[in-house]
Amino acid sequence: MRAVKLGSRIYGPGWGLKRLSPSFVSSSCSARACASSAGTGMAEEGRTTQDGDPVDLAMSVLVNYHEETKHRSRKYARGPHRLDWANQPNPFRRYDGARVVPLDHLPESPTRSSDPLWPVIFEESLAPKPLDKSSLSQLLYDSLALSAWKAARRSTWSLRVNPSSGNLHPTEGYVICDAIEGVSMTPFVAHYAPYEHVLEIRAEISVEKWRYLSSGLPPGSLLFGFSSIFWRESWKYGERAFRYCNHDVGHAIGAVAIASASLGWNACMLDGYSVHEIGCLLGLPQVRVSTDRGPVRGVMRELETEHADCVLAIFPSGLTISEQPNYQVAKLMGDVKWQGQMSALSKEHMSWGIIYEAAQASEKSAVTSAAITRSLPLPDSIITSAEYEPVTVRQVVRKRRSAESMDSTYAMLAEVFFQILAKTLPTGSGETQGAPRQLPFGALPWNAEVHLVIFAHRVVGLQPGVYILVRNEAYTKELAKLMKPEFSWEKPEICPPSLPLYALQYGNVTGLAQRLSCDQEIAGDGFFSLGMLARFESAMRDFGPSMYPRLFWETGLIGQMLYLEAHAFGVSGTGIGCFFDDPVHTVLGLKDNKFQSLYHFTIGVPVEDKRIQTVPSYPAPPGRYKQIAQLGVGSQSSTS
């Protein structure tokens, strides 16, 4: 662990009632639903019964959602008054009746010849592994699979490689791929089921369909789709859940991009699809959920449907995407025969309509062209390699944990602090920041919109205080103009010249960080904590209402890098979704919606809870989800 025990030079040890017909859960993107909007992308922006510009109306909905779901010191965002444990959603979706393909399990501690050391994937492009069952298994094992089980007294719960707000895991993953021996003799669409580390083959498609879907992609490519089940988060967090679900999409994008790099592959978001087209590509039910504010209790199986989020192209490093892919896929997928019945997750539900109002307002409603990006090896982004633990990529991603509390008697070495910040830069060290090039930010097709406001507590040689890392230097002057005039905006003397880090105000900010993060001590007990400040209303004006969830994806991607970098240095991180929104802005002097804080994070030395036992990820403890599996109505059941 690269931390200094304070007071010594010794290194420390290394943490209303609605019902739907039973046929609903077995429906997917039917030929009628998909074909009806083919060629139009279901352009929701033109579909409104109100006067006024549809984009302005959507913007108004999203700004209102964001305001209403802010935490305030005397009024938190609306959520359940208590947790309804009898209806806790099953965290594992299954498609009963779909063909199941078991995937390969890999060693937790691989040899360095088979798994690169952590810094290597940022310094050089590895030789691409062929796309086969083994490499596909590794991609999923090191990105979305279970990483461990925890046990305390009579309770057990699973952890995953990709972090999630409240460990509730609303994100689902899908693979669209050419034929692979041992998986499918034809091209296929499959749902990944992490509980058993298996693929569920939802559909087998023709070679002609795959050629159309993969147009422009180099040989050996696959498509990777993400969707979200808002109910899993809203069960605990109520109306703020839409924010957290999109954090988790960003976490998952980062997890897949890093796992891809360890295979010698690249990841690029194909952002030209509309939400409807993605739903048809993944075989998701086409359902509109009521936006009645509620909360409404009852049996509302539609809340368990998945919201289509985004699609990544995964392709061999060194190759490029030659042209814009075919984003119009609804008609193509209209005659696909989907297999498997979507499992039920809860007996009863509670609907928070404002979530679905925001989701509909922020949907990308029409097919567009989109920037094609890729991550590049950037050796100059390495400030220090000597301080990394001698750990491989798999050891980092699969042993990552969220710390529950932190030990405030340690300090972080300055070079480690600077290295962690350098890994969050989109462009890499030594260049003007903004364009997405550094792994994993090359997966995003837009320039950086999020900056880090840092509350430094215990970094050796760095004065405590408030700092800002400007991740897109096109906005440095605007930020300085909007923030408090007394902020110094000076470069710390020990800071590497290539790092756009500025001191705003010096002083002890431990209590301030705790207060802003809903009075959570962990925000002050780490080496530092931070808030992710996004260009907000202007970004939506520039790129459309669909930029709202994408800002959260970017923060989640940053959070994933912070998690992994912390673990690679032998310490730990924790994402903080609970913070007082406007007090953060007040501290900075921000008075409008031009910039908003969207996600907080802290890094420090974890305090181990010795009452909790760690159990290997596979096989899962027997009978863990047997009771939940029986929650379905009729044939709507989950098999675990």
- The CA distance from 259 to 141, in Å, is 9
Domain contains 65: no
169 contacts 160 by C-beta, under 8 angstroms: yes
pLDDT at 51: 56
Domain contains 69: no
Task: Output the DSSP codes for 302-316.
Answer: GGGS-EEEEEEEEEE
Q: How much of the chain is helix, strand and coil, in % rounded to 5?
A: 30, 20, 50
Backbone angles phi, psi at 235, to 5 degrees: -55, -40
Domain count, the chain: 2
pLDDT tens digits, 431-457: 788 889 999 999 999 999 999 999 999
- pLDDT means per 10 residues, the chain with 640 residues, are 57 31 43 50 38 86 98 95 95 97 89 82 94 98 96 90 97 98 98 98 98 97 98 97 98 98 97 97 92 90 97 96 93 96 96 97 92 84 77 95 96 96 87 89 97 98 98 97 98 94 98 98 98 97 97 98 97 97 98 97 95 89 49 27
Between the two ends of the chain, the Cα-to-Cα distance in Å is 38
* Token duo for residue 547: 């930029």
Q: How far is CA 338 from CA 227, 229, 604, in A?
A: 17, 20, 47
- The CA distance from 476 to 468, in Å, is 10
Domain contains 62: no
pLDDT at 623: 59
Q: Are residues 420 and 337 located together in one domain of the fold? A: no
Query: What SS3 class is residue 201?
Result: strand
Alpha helices in 316-463 (DSSP H): 353-361, 393-398, 414-422
- The CA distance from 238 to 456, in Å, is 32
Cα Rg of the chain, angstroms: 23
Q: Are residues 175 and 207 located together in one domain of the fold? A: yes
pLDDT at 27: 44
Query: What SS3 class is residue 573?
Result: strand
Domain contains 300: yes
332 contacts 209 by C-beta, under 8 angstroms: yes
162: left (phi over 0), alpha (psi -120 to 50) or beta: beta
pLDDT at 188: 98
Among 485, 578, 597, smallest CA distance to 536 is for 597
pLDDT at 29: 57
Domain contains 524: yes
- The CA distance from 55 to 409, in Å, is 51
pLDDT at 44: 37
Name the residue with tokens 């070079």.
415
pLDDT at 10: 27
Judged on CB neighbours under 10 Å (0-12, 13-18, 19+), 155 is: exposed
Angle at 488 between CA 485 and CA 494, to 5 degrees: 160
Q: Are residues 513 and 589 located together in one domain of the fold? A: yes
Domain contains 17: no
Q: Are residues 453 and 558 located together in one domain of the fold? A: yes
Q: Are residues 556 and 507 located together in one domain of the fold? A: yes
Q: Are residues 328 and 392 located together in one domain of the fold? A: no
Write the CATH number for 434.
Answer: 3.40.109.10
Name the residue with tokens 């999020």.
450
Q: Which amino acid is at 504?
A: L
Q: Are residues 396 and 340 located together in one domain of the fold? A: no
Domain contains 286: yes
523: left (phi over 0), alpha (psi -120 to 50) or beta: alpha
Question: How many other β-carbons are positioned within 10 Å of the β-carbon of residue 538?
Answer: 15
pLDDT at 369: 87
- The CA distance from 417 to 139, in Å, is 29
- The CA distance from 88 to 233, in Å, is 10
574 contacts 602 by C-beta, under 8 angstroms: yes
Structural domain containing residue 329: 89-107+125-148+159-366
Q: Are residues 401 and 331 located together in one domain of the fold? A: no
pLDDT at 386: 72
Q: Which helix (H) or strand (E) holds 540?
A: helix 537-543
Q: Are residues 434 and 576 located together in one domain of the fold? A: yes
pLDDT at 113: 66
Q: Are residues 270 and 134 located together in one domain of the fold? A: yes
Judged on CB neighbours under 10 Å (0-12, 13-18, 19+), 399 is: middle
Q: Are residues 399 and 342 located together in one domain of the fold? A: no
Q: How far is CA 527 from CA 89, 290, 410, 453, 597, in A?
A: 35, 44, 7, 14, 20
Q: Are residues 401 and 486 located together in one domain of the fold? A: yes
Domain contains 3: no
